[in-house]
Amino acid sequence: MAFTSRIGLIAAAGVTFINAIHPTAAIVAGVVVALTGMSFAQSSRTATAPYCADLKRVVALASARDRFTSITGKLREGNFHDTMLPLPGWKDCSLYGATTYTCDSQTFKTAAEVEKTQAGMADEILSCFAGTWLELKDRSSPTYVVLHPTSGPASITLSLDETESKEFLVRLTLFIRRNN
């Protein structure tokens, strides 16, 4: 039996007992139990994305005055830099210019695998930001997901890419929209 189911079972027995003593107390107890269950569900969804806390930090930095200056590492080729804040579980995280942060997922053998992973990642990111971000379905496609906050200049895209060795990956790109 799942943890939240056990809470519900214990709560139901407790509410029945409380209801016999005082009906208003039963209502209050029921609301407390419901909120507790929602809290456990919320924290378990967020906990599934090991990169959530760091992604929130990157988004906060993107909106700050100095942007990514504090996490800019060594210069790479072109206008790319290493980042001192890579997302756990992602590879090749880097900064491009002053307004773009990017990371690649692990690679997959088939397009079907990477498409399923992309959908899961979109859900993880939306759960990470707990209702303050949304997917723009009219700007998304099967190979490209666009996520925006309800307020603020940042955007995240999750695009599918194929490597030179014919493997597939998801590329996370966080950037600042110039005209929001």
pTM, two decimal places? 0.72
Q: Which fold has domain 52-176?
A: Protein Transport Mog1p; Chain A (3.40.1000)
Query: Which residues, at least 6 apart from 82, have a Cβ–Cβ distance to it below 8 Å?
Result: 72, 73, 74, 76, 94, 95
* CA 10 – CA 97 distance, rounded (Å): 55
Joined together, the tokens standing for residue 26 give 């039963």
**Annotated domain spans of the chain:** 3-47, 52-176
pLDDT per residue as tens, the chain (180 positions): 443 333 343 334 343 333 444 444 333 333 223 333 333 344 444 446 899 999 999 999 998 888 899 999 899 998 899 999 999 999 999 999 889 999 999 999 999 999 999 999 999 999 999 989 999 999 999 899 999 999 888 999 999 999 999 999 999 999 988 765
